[in-house]
Amino acid sequence: MMHYRRIGVTVKSDIPAKDAIVAHVIRILRKTGADIRVDRKRIRGVPSAKGLKTLRGTGEIDLLLILGGDGTILRTIREMECFSVPILSINRGNIGFLAEMSVGEASRLLPKFLCGEGIVDERRALRVIARRGAGTVTEGFVLNEAVISQGTIARLIDLKTTVNGEPLTTFRADGLILATPTGSTAYTLAAGGPIVHPQVQATILTPINSHSFSQKPIVIPGDHRIEVEVLGRGAKFGDVDVSMTLDGQVYAALHPGDRIFAAVSEHTVKFLRRKKETYYATLRSKLKWGGRPEE
């Protein structure tokens, strides 16, 4: 008996061999008797999708199938109007931290997932809003991180940071990463931040190339609200260009005096996973943990 019957399908726009991959997945879904609805914007012109229903919103499906890697997953989450529908991802190449299976595994695993042989892994997103006076510069949810950083000139920026209204510090650095536990294995890890299990409700603040050796990454409880103010330097060369990116996909220029507010969302992003995998197994396979160090 099918646990997920109404299936939405979206795909990375420029994925190699797009027609063949979409056709392969559609064939599998048709054999299961699934009610298929496709993202016309990104499956335009694919012959195997002809005659299928158009996906108009996540409210009309039971499961959203994403053909692509972690970047496509982040884009899709940003475009979702609600997070109530589970996500199942199929990646053409190497499976990232978010993608669940490869195209080669789809014939074997996809029918099992549709029949309920899987678990729902819930991840907290971070709600981020940048304000300029009474107006809003940009806002959105991030599953990995929001990054405040300086522009092309190699000059430090000052970011006054408070938590629940209490002063924390003014980071003087190339920038600041506000990451979720899911994002702790992404950019913030490369910047020296800790790995945090995704079941922990928290926000990770990681300065980028801090001027002070005492300013280290810090993990903030998930129910605490964070505010970051961009301070002007008043240098004779003028203020440095500052910007913020959300999950590496949304860009906004910031000005001195702009304030960024961040808090863990009450909503969760739901991923459909195979039962046998654990987060620790993912760390071992993706970060190559578990083996003996090379001599």
Taking residue 60's Cβ as centre, other Cβ atoms within 10 Å add up to: 14
- Asked if 270 and 120 touch (Cβ cutoff 8 Å), the reply is yes
Retrieve residue 156's tokens. 């430090």
Are both 131 and 191 inside the same structural domain?
yes
Percent of all residues in the chain with a pLDDT value above 70, rounded to a whole number: 93
- Asked if 98 and 254 touch (Cβ cutoff 8 Å), the reply is no
Are both 179 and 237 inside the same structural domain?
yes
Taking residue 6's Cβ as centre, other Cβ atoms within 10 Å add up to: 16
Query: What would the mean pLDDT of 284-290 be, rounded to a whole number?
Result: 79
pLDDT on residue 284? 86
DSSP 3-state assignment of 60? helix
Are both 18 and 138 inside the same structural domain?
no
pLDDT on residue 236? 46
Residue 291 lies in a domain: no
pLDDT on residue 83? 85
What's the number of domains the chain is made of? 2
Residue 295 lies in a domain: no
pLDDT per residue as tens digits for the range 6-39:
999 999 888 888 889 999 999 999 999 999 999 9
Between 173 and 46, name the one with better pLDDT: 173
Between 98 and 135, name the one with better pLDDT: 135
Are both 179 and 199 inside the same structural domain?
yes
Rounded Cα gap, residues 256 and 247, in angstroms: 22
**Block residue for tokens 């990463």:** 177
pTM: 0.89
Residue 85 lies in a domain: yes
pLDDT on residue 154? 67
- Asked if 22 and 51 touch (Cβ cutoff 8 Å), the reply is no
pLDDT on residue 237? 44
The catalytic residue positions are: 70
Are both 75 and 165 inside the same structural domain?
no
Residue 30 lies in a domain: yes
Beta bridge partners of 218: 205
Closest CA to 203 of 264, 279, 260: 264
pLDDT exceeds 90 at position 80: no
pLDDT per residue as tens digits for the range 184-202:
999 999 999 999 999 999 9
Query: What would the mean pLDDT of 142-165 be, rounded to a whole number?
Result: 90
Are both 83 and 129 inside the same structural domain?
no
Residue 257 lies in a domain: yes
Which domain CATH number covers 135?
Answer: 2.60.200.30
Q: What is the extent of the structural domain holding 202?
A: 125-266
pLDDT exceeds 90 at position 47: no
Query: What would the mean pLDDT of 72-88 be, rounded to a whole number?
Result: 88
pLDDT per residue as tens digits for the range 194-246:
999 999 999 999 999 999 889 999 999 999 999 999 998 655 445 678 999 99
Judged on CB neighbours under 10 Å (0-12, 13-18, 19+), 279 is middle
DSSP 3-state assignment of 247? coil
**19 φ, ψ to 5°?**
-60, -45
